[in-house]
Chain A
Amino acid sequence: MKTLGRILMAAAGLLTLSLFIYPMWRIDLSAPQYPDPLGMYIHIDGLEGVEEHDLQNIDILNHYVGMKPLPKPGDMWEFQVFPIVVGAMGALALLFALLGNRRLYLLWFILMVVLGALGIYDFYLWLYDYGTNLDPHAIIQLTDEQGNPLHYVPPLLGYKQLLNFEVWSYPAIGGVLLAVGIMLSFLAYIIAGRKK
């Protein structure tokens, strides 16, 4: 089963590296005026509109409530660091597969779970800042029933209603492949430990 373990571990590496091609996450926004939702993909190195002009159109809408423009690749350190981390972890997975040491598989798995959790936490912090750090001169300033300023934090995962927009946030294909890759590494650890 050692060979199978290696194959699974190598697959985990390749699936991780697929993030260089596929986006990690997707956020869709639909409203009565947007029956075809606006949407953005989050790649490891920047944002991309689902349709060509979606980012510009999201920014136009967001400026009314004082949200900052969506970050360009140079605006966030994450977009520089993520490719390095992902590339390194992918390469490490391939190296570990070559070495065939199942404890290294487990090490990789744990590293990825930790890094993944940190990544999601970072993503949450960004969403929170994006939705709450609003321009004090925003055109539209609304308050909730208690009189607190209304915030527009998009959901980390799942659905949320933000004013007239219904927002969906969910893993895109790269995110799914990454999750599969992480699970495969653990599977590689289990399988490689089994005697035939």
Chain B
Amino acid sequence: MRNMTMKWKFAWALLPLAGMLFVSSCQKPAGKKKSSEGALNTSSVAERVYVKPGEWDEYYAFLSGGFSGQLAVHGLPSGRLFKIIPVFSVDAEKAYGFNEETKPMLMTSHGFIPWGDLHHPDISQTNGELDGRWVFVNENNTPRIARIDLRYFETAEIIEIPNSAGNHASAFVTENTEYVVANTRFAVPVPQRDIPINELKGNFKGVTTFVKVDPETGRMNIAFQLLMPGFNYDLSHPGRGKSHGWMFFSSYNTEEAHSLLEVNASQNDKDFIAAINWKKIEEYVKNGGGKKMKVKAAHNIFDEKTQSARTEWITEVTMVDPREVEGAIYFLPTPKSPHGCDVDPSGEYIVGSGKLAAQLTVHSFSKMLKAIEEKKFAGEAYGVPILDYNATLAGVVENPGLGPLHTEFDGKGYAYTTFFISSEVVKWKLGTWEVVDRHPVYYSVGHLMIPGGNSRKPYGKYLVAMNKITKDRYLPTGPELCQSAQLFDISGEKMQLLLDFPTLGEPHYAAGIKADKVLDRMAKIYPLEESGHPHVTKAEKETKIVRKGNEVHIYMTMIRSHFAPDNIEGIKVGDKVYFHVTNLEQDFDVPHGISMIGANTSELLIMPGQTETFVWEPKAPGVYPFYCTDFCSALHQEMQGYVRVSPKGANVPLKITLDDKPIGQVIEE
């Protein structure tokens, strides 16, 4: 019995590479050692991030790829990269957005868009704890939310958010994944209309969206939208525990500037965190509240049964003026253009990180309720009550650093906040608001992530800081450098920097979860018998070639180590040839690929039991080879075939063969 598949050889080849990464992150060339690392005992630190060859990491970490539009899957504590899940951008490697099956995933009301800006991953929850079923991510540029199914580590659904622009305060989930939220960073006219830009103030809106998630299937649907003042809504987090039912959104540019925002949006001493009681609005909508509004937005669903995506059009949403719902919305004044808006595991504290403030502001949920009850208002903005700053204030972390952005919690009473300008992570204590530790990062950290962070039960063992700037941290790669993640051990009193690894694109935020919560549900193959793909071929004898005018459909299979058919004749110049290719394998980790010389598209990379389709339009007579692109087996190099292309109008009959024997069916319609 012989199987000489080369995969394992590659695996061995990669090991030294992993080793090099690891060594380069721990050992710096002499004379370049940074003082802050001088105290580290390198070997003991190395042991703590060293995952032996063949062993598995303890956590999955899903790092946003930012302007790459994709989601990167790393392991912690090793930092190793396992997969880049294509979400909002085409991916020629995986044919995402290129094959006929996934093209609809990138459909929008503006047409097909090959790129997106992926910002904030958040893992689905049950009872306030991560359940490992789905990861939700938002697209900032053309507002969308995607759901990644962790059975397959593939994008299962993308929903476009109408009436929004710059979907930044997203895609955070409530504690039973009732909703995933979206919000508007760039106020726009709603509905869109032709209006002078300098008439923004008072005329533009910031629409907040609550997307309902089906508890069984994960399927998303826009439940309702809120017509909010035209501020710039930046980030959000759900209430949890006692504050479950509320959602908190930070905002900047309450000045409603339309130009030179770096100055004009930095004038107000305080902007707002909007506290929204979504349970009240849900009730209001259930009782017929809100107005129907005509919209056009794409809802793209990858159907696992047909292994194909389709676009459904959203034509109507329920728009709610939150001011019409008693007690549904309040503004919490928060100093200086707050960015992060983070809720602690108990649901009591809401931390606002004023980007330009010299302090961190912590609001108390119970004080907020009391202030509402006692009507401690400091005025209103566009009819929304503004609560008195001192009435909701739990405390202030004084002089923590410069440029606070985001806060996460360890579940042991401490909070960790990133500071972009002073380039550090600062640990402080909830309740006493005292700073207990600080550690530099390299450089200019944006988000940070503690696995389990946005939940009632953070794991509290590691912290990942995601840095925008790397300058001299790695071997340079010309003007464009990678961004980075840095892993800290936070199990002790002092944070300890363990590891530093490059990331995909710009890691805005991340979500981490214990691996075993995901592993139980994971698929290893697509069961061929269950495939409902409209063009599946379940056995070699079922292969066929079908001509309908100048459209030719080839139903082809692949199994180690051949295609069936592998010789095809009767194709003519001017034909549009669809290759519907099924991988007949039912063994774990045996993908096959296919590509055709001159095809104006990507390869297909097909997993066991999957069917994918590419289109080829031959332009000149000849004989054209195709081949398997994934080193599948010992005879991978031999996995190849030919298509004969005859001139337009030629009389060459359709013919498909394997080993010179006819195979399958020839159908001329």
Contacts and interface: CB of A to CB of B under 8 A. Distances in A.
B3 A61 contact: yes
Interface in B544-584: 559-560
A65 to B, nearest CB: 5
Contact of A67 (B1, B8, B588): B1
Contact of B8 (A33, A62, A139, A167): A33
A167 B3 CA distance: 14
A67 B559 CA distance: 17
Interface in B587-603: 587-588
Given A33-B8, A60-B559, A139-B635, A65 B2 contact: yes
Given A60-B587, A64-B634, A64-B635, A164 B559 contact: no
Interface string A65-87: 10100000000000000000000
B7 interface: yes
B14 to A, nearest CB: 14
Contacts of B525: 53
B5 interface: yes
A167 B559 CA distance: 24
Nearest to A163: B2
Contact of A152 (B1, B3, B4): B1
A32 B635 contact: no
A112 interface: no
Nearest to B54: A35
B586 interface: yes
Interface in A102-155: 139-140, 142, 152
B586 A62 contact: no
Contacts of A164: 2-4
B540 to A, nearest CB: 13
Interface string A42-76: 00000000001100111011101101000000000
B2 A32 contact: no
B586 A61 contact: no
B3 A31 contact: yes
A56 B1 contact: no
A31 B585 CA distance: 18
A64 B587 contact: no
Contact of A33 (B7, B585, B586, B635): B7
B1 A29 contact: yes
Interface residues of A, number: 26
A56 B586 contact: yes
A162 interface: yes
Contact of B586 (A32, A53, A163): A53
A165 interface: yes
Contacts of B585: 60
Given A32-B8, A67-B1, A152-B1, A57 B635 contact: no
Interface residues of B, number: 16
Given A56-B586, A60-B560, A140 B634 contact: yes
B2 A61 contact: yes
A65 B560 CA distance: 13
Contacts of B8: 32-33
Contacts of B4: 64, 140, 164
A57 B587 contact: yes
A79 B435 CA distance: 76
A167 B1 CA distance: 10
A62 B588 CA distance: 17
Contacts of A58: 1
Nearest to B634: A64
B587 A53 contact: yes
B522 to A, nearest CB: 14
Interface in B517-534: 525
Nearest to A67: B1
Contacts of A142: 2
A165 B4 CA distance: 10
Nearest to A52: B586
Given A53-B587, A60-B560, A64-B634, A33 B1 contact: no
A65 B4 CA distance: 11
Contacts of B588: 36
Contacts of A53: 525, 586-587
A97 B552 CA distance: 71
A121 B634 CA distance: 35
A65 B1 CA distance: 6
Given A53-B586, A56-B586, A57-B587, A140 B559 contact: no
Interface string A156-168: 0000001111010
A138 B586 CA distance: 23
A164 B6 CA distance: 12
A141 B141 CA distance: 58
Nearest to A56: B586
Contacts of A31: 3
Contacts of B5: 33
Nearest to A58: B1
A177 B626 CA distance: 54
Interface of B: 1-5, 7-8, 525, 559-560, 585-588, 634-635
Nearest first, the 9 closest Cβ-Cβ pairs linking A and B are A53-B586, A61-B3, A57-B587, A65-B2, A163-B2, A64-B2, A32-B8, A165-B1, A140-B2
22 contacts: A31-B3, A32-B8, A33-B3, A33-B7, A53-B525, A53-B586, A53-B587, A56-B586, A61-B1, A61-B2, A61-B3, A64-B3, A64-B4, A67-B1, A139-B635, A140-B2, A152-B1, A163-B2, A164-B2, A164-B3, A165-B3, A167-B1
Given A60-B587, A165-B1, 15 more contacts: A31-B3, A32-B8, A57-B587, A60-B585, A64-B4, A64-B634, A139-B634, A139-B635, A140-B634, A152-B1, A163-B1, A164-B3, A164-B4, A165-B3, A167-B1
